[in-house]
Chains A and B, each alone.
Chain A
Amino acid sequence: ENSLLRQVSSLLRRLPAIESGKFQDDFL
């Protein structure tokens, strides 16, 4: 099911959810 595979492929790219130094500080 190509459409599903494309959706899953797009899904996989959504992680890591955020990658910024500022986030690390806020998160800690």
Chain B
Amino acid sequence: EEQVLVIREKLAELYESEEQWSKAAQMLSGIDLDSGMRVIDDTFRLSKCVQIARLYLEDDDAVNAEAFINKASFLVSNSQHEVLNLQYKVCYARILDLKRKFLEAALRYYDISQIEKRQIGDEEIDEEALEQALSAAVTCTILAAAGPQRSRVLATLYKDERCSKLKIYPILQKVYLERILRKPEIDAFAEELKPHQKALLPDNFTVLDRAMIEHNLLSASKLYTNISFDELGTLLGIPPHKAEKIASRMIYEDRMRGSIDQVEAVIHFDDDTEELQQWDQQIVGLCQALNDVLDSMAKKGF
């Protein structure tokens, strides 16, 4: 087994040097990490699993990578090897991203971006890598299904002043402020995305389309009391019946409050706050505005 291991590692190195990532991963996968024939320590097992997962991820192969990351997850909790632990976290985030579990991926990317140490083992953690993780967290959050959970992560990211330096910040700001995104902004955002984030879904929308349509629909629900599906379709840039389908799913999944009148072909958005609370809020706003005026007067010496 020792000789097999050495040969496989050598061959894998060669495949890697030729950037044949999956072949290198397959070569290493043949190593029997659970053999009873010899003693293999957990750190070695963990390092191999993570290495194989990273190789599969170079080819965006989430399925095979996940198989090895799942194996690694039993080993990583006892591992003191910080470099391996970090590599495991990055693999896990990328697998979630590839599997379009965007909100979970965003949280893991964000966690990685907050690493304080700049030196782990003999690995240098440079700012650029952390910035990439932060940017990936923003991208995945924007692509996640619109709703309360996503809004909470958006708020966290928007308030993290590191984000204001990211190239993606303008669209993060608009998404956080629940503004309707227009086509030019969406196209600019699309340029920064990875292929799987623009992949076609069964309903013939891409991942990006769905995220943007849901986001704009939720943004519209903050601006409208009600809207006809014809007009909503025009606003979202999709056929009215598709707008109705997406709206009904979001309402059903409790990611948007509202009701659909199919006879009139109109959607009525419910305001999260009840009328009485709205009345209270309006009065609170009025009192604050009054205070602002009094403060301004005091500042100006009146």
Contacts and interface: CB of A to CB of B under 8 A. Distances in A.
Do any CB atoms of chain A lie under 8 A from CB atoms of chain B in the complex? yes
A3 B302 CA distance: 13
B290 interface: yes
Contacts of A14: 282, 285-286, 289
A4 B292 CA distance: 10
A4 B286 contact: no
Contacts of A8: 293
Contact of B286 (A1, A3, A11, A23): A11
Interface of A: 1, 3-4, 7-8, 10-11, 14-15, 17-18, 20, 22-23, 26-27
B264 interface: no
B245 interface: no
Nearest to A22: B275
A7 B293 contact: yes
Contact of A11 (B274, B276, B290, B297): B290
Nearest to B290: A11
22 contacts: A1-B302, A4-B293, A4-B296, A4-B297, A4-B302, A7-B293, A7-B296, A11-B286, A14-B289, A15-B286, A17-B279, A17-B282, A17-B286, A18-B282, A22-B275, A23-B275, A23-B276, A23-B278, A23-B279, A26-B274, A27-B275, A27-B279
B200 interface: no
A4 to B, nearest CB: 6
A26 to B, nearest CB: 5
Given A7-B289, A10-B289, A11-B290, A18 B278 contact: yes
